[in-house]
């Protein structure tokens, strides 16, 4: 086994703490003074105490892959949803979009198929 892979391993219990859910991107805005960040408004089918669905704000450094960020609106993607809120550029991010990229610039969001409802938790 490659020793570099082994040193990066975490326990199953640590991995089980990570909550990943399908969410649909409702809106996208560039962040003023940032070339990397986009502000995503994401629906996870979560409701507040009154039963009103409450989307989350998630900031993501994916702007360079989406010169026309409006193409992200309506996309269903996978997100980490139980991270502590993180302040960035005067805003608060409440999750992380899951994506893959290579050193040569290839990029892909992790998108569940159409049969997976918004809010579904990865198992």
pLDDT digits (tens, 9 = 90+) for 65-118: 999 999 999 999 999 999 999 999 999 999 999 999 999 999 999 999 999 999
Distance of alpha carbon 16 from alpha carbon 33, whole angstroms = 36
Query: Which region holds residue 74: left if phi is over 0, alpha if psi is between -120 and 50, else beta?
Result: left
44: pLDDT confidence band, cut at 50, 70 and 90? Answer: very high
The encoded tokens of residue 61 equal 């450094």
pLDDT band at 9 (very low <50, low <70, confident <90, very high): confident
Is residue 59 within 8 A of residue 39, CB to CB? The reply is: yes
- The CATH architecture that domain 22-109 belongs to is Beta Barrel (2.40)
For the chain, the 3-state helix, strand and coil shares in percent, each to the nearest 5, are: 15, 35, 50
Confidence of residue 5 (pLDDT cuts 50, 70, 90): low
Domain ranges for the chain: 22-109
pLDDT of residue 20: 97
């Amino acid at each position: 086994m490659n020793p570099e892979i082994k040193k990066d391993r975490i326990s199953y219990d640590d991995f089980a703490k990570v909550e990943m859910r399908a969410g649909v991107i409702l809106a996208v805005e560039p962040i003023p003074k940032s070339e990397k960040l986009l502000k995503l408004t994401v629906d996870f089918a979560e409701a507040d105490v009154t039963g009103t669905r409450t989307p989350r704000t998630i900031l993501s450094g994916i702007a360079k892959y989406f010169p026309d960020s409006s193409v992200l609106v309506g996309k269903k993607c996978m997100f980490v949803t139980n991270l502590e809120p993180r302040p960035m550029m005067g805003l608060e991010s409440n999750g992380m979009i899951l994506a893959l990229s290579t050193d040569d610039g290839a990029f892909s969001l992790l998108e569940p198929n159409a049969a997976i409802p918004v809010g579904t938790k990865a198992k």
